[in-house]
Structure 1
């Protein structure tokens, strides 16, 4: 049973996670493909200190945030569909990712059906923001990749990690189940063990933070869970490097770059975790996470998910929140997720349901 205080705290962490990730994504979007020297030459010795234009505007998000939103949507739909007796969340998340894939090839939502739900009809999401080719190819047909038969079995790109924070917000689930769901959904596009294990580790870290654990302890929980899985070594080593870097001195862009570029799942996880661990505050951590020569939007997104979950949405820099593309949609979805997780039985049940809720999240 959720008390009012617990509900409010959880909603703040969900908002913080989704908004924080989107802000980190937007901060890195304009420098994603630039070297550190190019970033400093263009923006000064401190590098990026604010949003820079990307995709025709400041505060623009990328495919990282798009896919995170559809992950969230899929998880809500899974819980709503449970009333029908159908309970297989990977299928619902896969359907959500397929709805995202449509936004990458259609001009707009005119052809979307009622059963697609409200998020798929958000016109601003119909924009290509350098979507990962592996994500697109993994979702190009109806077959759902599984751990036994994954899509793109050689790929360990960061497209798994950058979309997986919402699994960690399933605070009513046991961490082992969160980990398993996350890795199963990652295998829908990326079949290399490091690709899906890094996603599972990230989700478990977010899960511990959403349950008010410390980040250091959350990482230790992820390491313990990884140790039980075959082929975990790359992901385990990446997390241990993040912990080791924290003890090596003052944070710097060079120390971030020593962890990798962030193009692969384990490197994006390592950089995002390191920057969150050493962050003096949300602003400091996010800027550290995007000022390097690599996949700045993905590492910024991972770091933002972590810091937002720890501190809640009121700790996010207000000017960045105000200018963020799609802020209203992110908040609307975050609040819906929090309401479903805390008050789902009041919204829908096998015998009765809010028709407004089912219009937003159809059981079909």
Structure 2
């Protein structure tokens, strides 16, 4: 089969080439890049038998599909760079939780973990979250594997069980996550998530309920329904759900404004039930901003906690920051252009800011045709090749048409 793909190259910053020179240069690099094929990634740090990530070597095997360009992003930690827009948003969320929720002695109830390594085991990333073997989310085409045992985390939830096992009842996790994805203004193979977990004991959950001592978190012989898990009582689930939705409503209105219209949509996640997505009516249209739900009790039990239940949520920092700060393209978060970075050096993290465009150069379009191998091809293989050659100048790749030879 032959595919014809269209690559739109956007000049997101200053670029010294003329339009014709850039077109010729990009085409030459795409079609003369011998040795870079969809059958394997570009050379990575380490040796032939290993790959180095954050100073540690991991043995290569047939599952290794991380490119050198992706590895160059590991350790950048944009969410921890002061005055970066992702840092601003993370700090706003953290400050809200510190101010709104206090534990004993007025200490913050939620601890924050934003320096955890993005290299996790496959067991942490999937099994600990009850993602079954063979589930579509485990595909090589969608994830970056260092080998069959280790990978770059696809979500910050990969740390959830370990943090609960360490004895934490309330925490926030922020970090970079990695997924092989399409190329356009809203997708990037590296992005950042922030996640929250809150566990309740019987006393904590029912403390403000009349005759709460007579209620229970769990029941035996229960049935799983649309509203609850088999081990939970309906009373406990409704209180946990109320706490979850109230907490997130306060957070999002703190970020967007108190008059924000919010609605909840039922959905499915392997690690929560019931599960919800929050949508907000922002500037006249509904937008999904986060996912959440009541934690699967099997997950809580696997972390060594038998007498508590709780909720969890996760949100994408880029997604919110693009809306809050009017940033039109996700690749701009990786810009080192001082014209971009200085816009977010604010006196206070809650000061309003609206991104101002950097470049007025027109986009360039290139059509590329190529033959596919008979098997073993995934669209994300081509996207990784484009990123390796064209970098962040390539704004969008779209399939224009396809042809199958009759023979």
Q: Answer whether TM exceeds 0.5 for this pair.
A: no
Higher strand share: 2
TM-score (norm 1): 0.27
TM-score (norm 2): 0.25
Asked which structure has the greater CA Rg, the reply is 2
Higher helix share: 1
